[in-house]
Amino acid sequence: MEIDKSDRKVKPTLGGSGLKAALSKPFAVFVVWQINKWKNNAVRAQNKNFRKLIDGARDTAFGKDHDFATIKDYQDFKNHVPVQDYEGLKTYIDRVVAGESDVLWKGKPLYFAKTSGTTSGVKYIPLSRESMPEHIKAARNAILTYINETGKAGFVNGKMIFLQGSPVLNVKNGINVGRLSGIVAHHVPAYLQKNRLPSYETNIIEDWEQKVDAIVDETIHENMTLISGIPPWVQMYFDKLSEKSGGKKIAEIFKNFSLFIYGGVNFEPYRARIEQSIGKKIDSIETYPASEGFIAYQDSQKDKGLLLLADAGIFYEFIPADEYYNDNPTRLSLADVKLDVNYALILNTNAGLWGYSIGDTVKFVSINPYKIIVTGRIKHFISAFGEHVIGEEVEYALLKAANEEKVEITEFTVAPQVNPQAGELPYHEWFVEFSVAPKDMVAFSRKVDQVLQKKNIYYFDLIEGNILQPLIIRTLQKDAFVNYMKSEGKLGGQNKVPRLSNDRKLADELERYII
């Protein structure tokens, strides 16, 4: 592809030609060969990681406090290191933020990834000289495994956009601080810099809507071949592109757009609308990056499981989700996990996070190789009556009914209604923004409820026992979730709408958008 600057129209050339595309294929073969060495021996790779992490942190404050010098195996580690969230590690992290060296990991962090916590306020997640390259390598390898499997490499000759946070970094006690996606922008390989959009000037715009408008102006006449970002924010970009072009589909605007890379949320609730916006089906790669580490990515178009990165400076632990809040829950290494069990994910990293509960739940869909799907958040559930409904279940129920009824969902969340009007049984209240609404809302609600009952036996028992009445769906105005996120100062970037809440905080805010 090349662009005729005189009339700003994209001229098609041979999709797979070009030096970058030609060089990417043998490089992909080499990288996949390297991946396969640990992929086929993942437990051994984890054991090697474990030893390296313990030895690397032996002389740190945390290592001394927890007797790392005496840890010989995983059982010793469990005896010495508790499972903890950010709050549990905060006293150590505060020392690192204050500028102290050798606290959680040797030396000082290279960066702090700044995130928003629900209980901790701002969280500072350390990124070390050892951990930062793993983020970049994983993102690169996700693309290279795709090229190796499909033979499609033409997209590397075109323009690529990564919808991300601002790359502007602040300094705190000598350490650069920013959003993960903004930090990563500083590490894009040189060979991709000329292909990459948006420009730095556009990328540093803080207001998300202004930023997306500027990205639209900057990209609408370019040869965009790869687009990456969190699905709801990519959808906003697509909507603005379509509006600017007089209603065109994305495939008409970007004729060579062929690969969509996403992460951060389950794509399925957004798939129908995004595919409709594009106007054709294109290949996609799901990734699982987090500030705490790049955990997994989809390494095959033939299945949706995400390859767990067993050789990326992280030693993983897994707690059966139904034991997570027990006083002494079972802690498992990769060697002992089972298929189709919902696990809370625990990380130990080469940036100094120890026994760290990241808050996500995962399920293994393959053991050889080890592949996972993300099933939700350990704190995002509804169990006001003991039903313990999780994100995976509500997404499945809504999407199954939506697909059968040709309904399209823009966004949704669910909360319990414990104190309904007098005489009513309690219920689960669903707040849904439709792009294509059901013809019969009562029948649609009934179908969603029946699917959820089949998915969750405890919920079924509560409905059957007249403890709960069937769920009720509240239809929300167009852009309700966008307007809510804007009101909270959480529009765009890495921010996401929680699927489930066990309280009414979000639900009460959304009531003003009910149609």
Which secondary structure element, helix H or strand E, spans residue 447, and what is its range?
helix 441-455
Which secondary structure element, helix H or strand E, spans residue 290, and what is its range?
strand 283-290
Domain span(s) for CATH 3.30.300 in the chain: 381-513
Name every residue whose Cβ is closer than 8 Å to that of residue 212 and which is 6 or more positions away in sequence.
163, 233, 236, 237, 240, 492
pLDDT at residue 116 in the model: 67
**Full DSSP string of 46-106:** HHHHHHHHHHHTTTSHHHHHTTGGG--SHHHHHHH---B-HHHHHHHHHHHHTT-SSSSSS
Name every residue whose Cβ is closer than 8 Å to that of residue 510 and which is 6 or more positions away in sequence.
413, 431, 474, 476, 480, 484
Q: Which CATH architecture has domain 381-513?
A: 2-Layer Sandwich (3.30)
Report the alpha-carbon distance of residue 144 to residue 142 in Å, rounded.
6
Report the alpha-carbon distance of residue 410 to residue 478 in Å, rounded.
9
Of 289, 286, 294, 256, whose CA–CA distance to 146 is shortest?
286
Q: Tell me whether strands 9-11 and 196-197 are parallel, antiparallel or unpaired.
A: unpaired
**Each residue's pLDDT expressed in tens, for the chain with a length of 515 residues:** 333 333 333 333 333 457 788 899 999 999 999 999 999 999 999 999 999 999 999 999 999 999 999 999 999 999 999 999 999 999 999 999 999 999 999 999 999 998 865 445 689 999 999 999 999 999 999 999 999 999 999 999 999 998 888 889 999 999 999 988 889 888 877 777 788 999 989 999 988 889 999 999 999 999 999 999 988 889 999 999 999 999 999 999 999 999 999 987 778 878 888 999 999 999 999 999 999 999 999 999 999 899 999 999 999 999 999 899 888 999 999 999 999 999 999 999 999 999 999 989 999 999 989 999 998 888 777 888 878 888 889 999 999 999 999 999 999 999 999 888 888 999 999 999 999 999 999 999 999 999 999 999 889 989 998 889 999 999 999 999 999 999 988 887 667 888 888 889 999 999 999 99
Positive or negative, the Cα torsion across 502, 401, 306, 285?
negative
Which secondary structure element, helix H or strand E, spans residue 348, and what is its range?
strand 342-349
Prior bond to 369 cis, omega within 30?
yes
pLDDT at residue 10 in the model: 39
Q: Quote the pTM value.
A: 0.81
pLDDT at residue 121 in the model: 65
